[in-house]
Structure 1
């Protein structure tokens, strides 16, 4: 519920009161002081979903910015007339949304001052970098909580649909500044951690689980950004707390930015490129879904004549964002396909190895592990080989680990597995068999 107080000029008093009477809205009028530029103060209470409709009617009757309108949240209203007014409005999702005036104020209020925004973003990036290097999901989640990124992301979308250019450009500037600060801060902190030996020397940061999933993201990562954008807009436009949703938006941006900084500090350019692509794809994903959701919910500019301009802006930016996302997503598609190829290949090799071991001659032999390797003993990674940037490279060596009793001997198993697997996958690949022997006490 919203309580509205309007200080009316002499020329707008009667038209405004006439609208309130026609809408059967209960109101009170208090005459203004003789030395005031206003004639009277009128106050009334509305259901949240009625604010925009009533204010639009009042503006058509003459209410303008020369009058003084204040809208505040009302916790409780005891009135028979208000109950009847509330029942006149349906309970659909669109009717639960805030008025455009409140939406603008809420999105503007989510924007921190520049010093606070820069400081919180920098701290968040440093904490996320530490969490990635520690391989600690809890620390990474903590970094998302303090990231102030939801305000700029939503402000840019609100500024577009309401044709508020200042709000839009402020949101865009803050977003780009935040991403830049996060990446630079993460790279600096990671370099210091490496130089001061805060992490073990010689560590392969790309192999850390929390890092690897951000430097080699697949297409599913994009849907995290889409969900964050939709949830952010719905939480803002319906008056629900945006604190938790802000964590989701930060989850799409801060950890990838921190991973990019780590890759830069360790001098792994291909890993840095993968993380940077994920950052910007997620950033665009949040903005495109936020923009689309606001427009679908019916938000339009305050001045009706600007609706056509806003529609063109929305279409143009949706098209541009979509094209850029499609271009950047080719990397995600490649990684996703490569992951599928790797899983399929591992499954085929495992199936063939198990088929061989199902023979009665190997009833005491069990399969332990299947590993795929590139040349020089590097673990096979078909998604991308970060050292050289090769994509979808086929394995050159397959190592199959089996377990057997210490008193068993199966010298023919290696050649049998080699023939079976080479025939199945159709590649010139070397099959090695590693035997693990055990005794039973």
Structure 2
């Protein structure tokens, strides 16, 4: 279930209440007249089944409530109410399959913004991965992949393609390109410093690395894993199962590939630099393709499922 907290201009309250009441899957409707001060208006509260939430939010935005008032949405972890159970039963479709497009767009908008924090996390992850590739340490590689925040812009780009949102697409693309460029530049400087202190050596980079050698030798398995991870990541976002994102992060070698390319570049190793860059681009492509297709399939299946449910109830 979702909990909606609406601030509504007093002259629009009756219209909003009718919209909520006419939406199948809503319950626990409450109106507190004159409770809001900034902006001034009435406070309208209601619960809605997740599978009906997207329609209700879209209807409220069409009415302009997000501009004249506000729409706040929260996930309800526990709701002990027979009315809530009945609302979920009446709502078409299954809550686990529902995609809240407004929530997804908002989440990916925040995660795909180029910021100092985003660049810092990506740079730190790349430097950790640089230590991992030089030492051929798989634990450091896994840790670096978990720290890397690059899935946010990738998810934003996929969402933008499906929703045809050029601004979000450009913001996500910029965050990816600028973020990796800065992270790799910082890692090159870091690698030169580590070499000057004797902690990094070219011999270690060129040595046989059974645990991390695959990073600069891309193949079809790299693309297949990226596709699977992209699909899993997008499902995790749309189903609000964020715990799965950790597994997605440590499934693809975007950050380690960027790190290996940066270290190899600092030593002038063109072969490893190019191979690692191919690995990076292949992973990014696989995630974008899979993420976009996953959203399109979810959109189609959700529409089909709802239509089927409505036909059965008719």
TM-score over 0.5 for the pair = yes
Cα distance in 2 between the residues matched to 1:203 and 1:81:
65
Would the alpha carbon gap of residues 90 and 189 (structure 1) be closer, same or farther in structure 2, given more than 3 Å must change?
same
Whose helix fraction is larger, Structure 1's or Structure 2's? 2
What residue in structure 1 maps to residue 282 of structure 2?
A: 281
What residue in structure 1 maps to residue 67 of structure 2?
A: 65
What residue in structure 2 maps to residue 118 of structure 1?
A: 119
What residue in structure 1 maps to residue 310 of structure 2?
A: none
Shift of 1:4: 0.5
Shift of 1:121: 1.2
Q: 1:43 aligns with which of 28, 42, 45?
A: 45
Shift of 1:175: 0.6
Shift of 1:136: 0.8
Shift of 1:83: 1.4
Structure exhibiting the larger radius of gyration computed from Cα positions: 1
Cα distance in 2 between the residues matched to 1:247 and 1:170:
21
What residue in structure 2 maps to residue 361 of structure 1?
A: none
Would the alpha carbon gap of residues 46 and 261 (structure 1) be closer, same or farther in structure 2, given more than 3 Å must change?
same
Q: Is the CA contact 2:119–2:179 (under 8 Å) kept in the aligned structure 1?
A: yes
- Deviation string, structure 1 residues 213-254 (Cα, Å, up to 9, x no partner): 1222211111121122111111111111154145236x3201
What residue in structure 1 maps to residue 16 of structure 2?
A: 16
Cα distance in 2 between the residues matched to 1:238 and 1:58:
22
Would the alpha carbon gap of residues 11 and 264 (structure 1) be closer, same or farther in structure 2, given more than 3 Å must change?
same
- Deviation string, structure 1 residues 258-303 (Cα, Å, up to 9, x no partner): 121232223221221111111111112211221221222229xxxx
Cα distance in 1 between the residues matched to 2:5 and 2:287:
36
What residue in structure 2 maps to residue 89 of structure 1?
A: 91
Shift of 1:91: 5.5
Cα distance in 2 between the residues matched to 1:4 and 1:69:
7
Would the alpha carbon gap of residues 81 and 274 (structure 1) be closer, same or farther in structure 2, given more than 3 Å must change?
same
Cα distance in 2 between the residues matched to 1:248 and 1:99:
26
Q: SS of the residue aligned with 1:144?
A: helix
What residue in structure 1 maps to residue 77 of structure 2?
A: 75
| Structure 2: unaligned runs, 5 residues or longer | 301-314
Q: SS of the residue aligned with 1:65?
A: helix
Cα distance in 2 between the residues matched to 1:279 and 1:108:
23
Q: Is the CA contact 2:133–2:205 (under 8 Å) kept in the aligned structure 1?
A: no
Cα distance in 2 between the residues matched to 1:35 and 1:257:
50
What residue in structure 2 maps to residue 266 of structure 1?
A: 267
Cα distance in 2 between the residues matched to 1:30 and 1:151:
38
Cα distance in 2 between the residues matched to 1:216 and 1:240:
32
Shift of 1:184: 2.4
What residue in structure 1 maps to residue 34 of structure 2?
A: 32
Shift of 1:11: 4.1
Q: SS of the residue aligned with 1:197?
A: coil
What residue in structure 2 maps to residue 244 of structure 1?
A: 246
Q: Does 1:184 align with 2:185?
A: yes
Q: Does 1:56 align with 2:43?
A: no
Q: Is the CA contact 2:113–2:172 (under 8 Å) kept in the aligned structure 1?
A: no
Aligned positions, number: 297
Shift of 1:61: 6.2
Shift of 1:37: 6.1
Q: Is the CA contact 2:142–2:250 (under 8 Å) kept in the aligned structure 1?
A: no
1:324-363 equivalences in 2 (<5 Å): none
Shift of 1:73: 1.9
Would the alpha carbon gap of residues 59 and 136 (structure 1) be closer, same or farther in structure 2, given more than 3 Å must change?
closer
Q: Is the CA contact 1:107–1:236 (under 8 Å) kept in the aligned structure 2?
A: no
Q: SS of the residue aligned with 1:77?
A: coil
RMSD across aligned C-alpha pairs, in angstroms? 2.7
What residue in structure 2 maps to residue 154 of structure 1?
A: 155
Higher relative contact order (CA 8 A, sep 6+): 2
Q: Is the CA contact 1:52–1:99 (under 8 Å) kept in the aligned structure 2?
A: yes
Cα distance in 1 between the residues matched to 2:178 and 2:37:
48
What residue in structure 2 maps to residue 109 of structure 1?
A: 110
TM-score, structure 2 length as denominator?
0.83
What residue in structure 1 maps to residue 138 of structure 2?
A: 137
Q: SS of the residue aligned with 1:30?
A: strand
Q: Which deviates the most, 118-127 or 190-199?
A: 190-199
Q: Is the CA contact 2:261–2:276 (under 8 Å) kept in the aligned structure 1?
A: yes
